[in-house]
A and B are shown apart, each in its own frame.
Chain A
């Protein structure tokens, strides 16, 4: 993400340059300022109406007992009751937190490892690379859909393809998706299966590593493992960072597959109760929208915190070759 904000920073400093307004002073400059807001107006309206006001409304509602059935004018202020309930009185909330953290902590590193591994295999360019890259990328395009979630759930059913595969080796499989011990693992596999998107980003990063570095390393007697450890990984660290932030935030938001697997309940025995699914159930099944709003705000703060932690620890292990941090 540091990579994406960098251009923003240059953009804003450019506009803040002290001589810029003076140079453009006059009718023309005024016209450009107006035009700027004309072109920006749809975005500004969207920012206010679809993002900012709903966020404030949701903050307010999180301190109320609002359900969709009573009119907004009659909601009751309940103070911190929703937050209290969430943290102290609702075991399924903590369960959702645990499920979501487990999912992200296991699936994201494995997905990135798979992405990096395959990218390294593909990086030694030769013919056919384009075909492989495309085939590996395909799951990332399809994997978030309901259709693929349906297929996945059936694949890990008692009669599914996975058990048929195990049967070849004489192993009797389980109905994985109905087993609270294993249901979440099948969802993790579905996430890992979509390693193509981060892989493509790794490939682009690998192409930026100057070949001379490897030649210098091998002249110095570094074997392949040491080359990987001392050249590839440091040179790739900005891309690893980018993928890690993006995939972690995506990982926290997994909804579709968990919904399909559990038919919207988070089952079996709450084992696939992802945070967003819990939020959906609170808001749209139980219609406790005040409570759901409190959940949404905690979620937002958690994601902001995690992103901050990433960025503050990133400076210790992310190396930018131009010395920029």
Chain B
């Protein structure tokens, strides 16, 4: 970091300004290409059906917010229901991941116990385990327990999240905890704190940044997740937003494009708001976490 900030200005000074300007132009072109699909989605969501076909511009000639109300009420249940379902699943997942992964991470990062090395290696092994491999037997198991399409059909989605199965977050928190000075633990130990006391009074308060990162990514990934929700949710009233959106595809009458886009925009809104609020953290937090330590 220091090396970069100290060399960059010098390099810049050596160079003619033209190269920097060219670089900026290239970047702006790339940004335009990258953002175009999002802007087009936004524009299309407020175009009338006629304009969707004929007006190739980004902006509508006539602003048509009606797509939103039509999309909201397009099915037997309103999208409000699907949004509530999605929000509930996502928030409960956040809680489950935060709690269970933090407990496991504390054990791996700080406590000495038999077979720790082996369990840690197993945890790292599950990092690369594709979820698709487990979906069939998990479905069978949850179904034999009466939990698929049961009283509360979200249990198969939520139970794994309360059992620290997202190895990625466990790993992230272990890495984070390794950065907390051990002297703090030792001091607490000398004061007579048990492993539980150290967790409660030293590790838990200091792990807040890792918890926040976990919570945000947990939310976004669950909100966007489709595969598991598609498999485990079978009746309309239980549908989450991604599953409900696919209902639009089934009814591919051209007239549904505007409403379909309107609901797509709404479904991305929470993720986008998270992005605006936590941009720096999202970009730096998780992606580089595997590289540190």
What residues of chain A have their CB less than 8 Å away from a CB belonging to chain B?
1, 3-8, 11-13, 15-16, 20-21, 24, 29, 31-37, 39-40, 42-47, 49-51, 53-55, 57-58, 61, 68, 72, 118, 121-126, 128, 130, 132-139, 141-142, 144-148, 150-152, 154-155, 159, 161, 164, 167, 193, 197, 200-201, 204-205, 207, 210-212, 214-215, 239, 242, 249, 252-253, 255-256, 259-260, 263-264, 276, 279-280, 283-284, 289, 292-293, 296-297, 299-300, 303, 307
A241 to chain B, nearest CB (A): 11
A-B contact list, 13 entries, CB within 8 Å? A13-B117, A39-B107, A47-B123, A50-B159, A55-B133, A126-B20, A141-B271, A142-B38, A193-B34, A242-B291, A256-B226, A263-B252, A279-B136
Residue of B nearest to A13 (CB): B117
Given contacts A42-B164, A151-B261, 11 further A-B contacts (CB under 8 A): A3-B291, A5-B124, A12-B121, A15-B117, A68-B140, A145-B242, A146-B243, A211-B6, A249-B128, A256-B242, A300-B129
Q: Which of B176-230 contact A (CB under 8 A)?
A: 178, 194-196, 199, 220, 223-224, 226-227, 230
- For B126, list chain A residues within 8 Å (CB): 47, 51
- For B113, list chain A residues within 8 Å (CB): 32-37, 40
A187 to chain B, nearest CB (A): 14
| Cβ-neighbour of A249 out of B112, B130, B250 (below 8 A) | B130
- For B122, list chain A residues within 8 Å (CB): 47
Residue of B nearest to A44 (CB): B119
Take A1-B128, A133-B283 as given contacts and tell me if A11 and B117 are in contact as well, using a CB distance cutoff of 8 Å.
yes
Docked pose: A152 CA to B291 CA in angstroms? 32
Cβ A146 vs Cβ B242 within 8 A: yes
- For A280, list chain B residues within 8 Å (CB): 132, 135, 227, 230-231
- For B199, list chain A residues within 8 Å (CB): 39
Docked pose: A35 CA to B113 CA in angstroms? 8
- For B100, list chain A residues within 8 Å (CB): 42-43, 46
- For B106, list chain A residues within 8 Å (CB): 39
Cβ B287 vs Cβ A204 within 8 A: yes
Report, as a range, how many residues of chain B touch the other chain: 35 or more
Docked pose: A192 CA to B160 CA in angstroms? 31
- For B274, list chain A residues within 8 Å (CB): 141
Docked pose: A145 CA to B130 CA in angstroms? 18
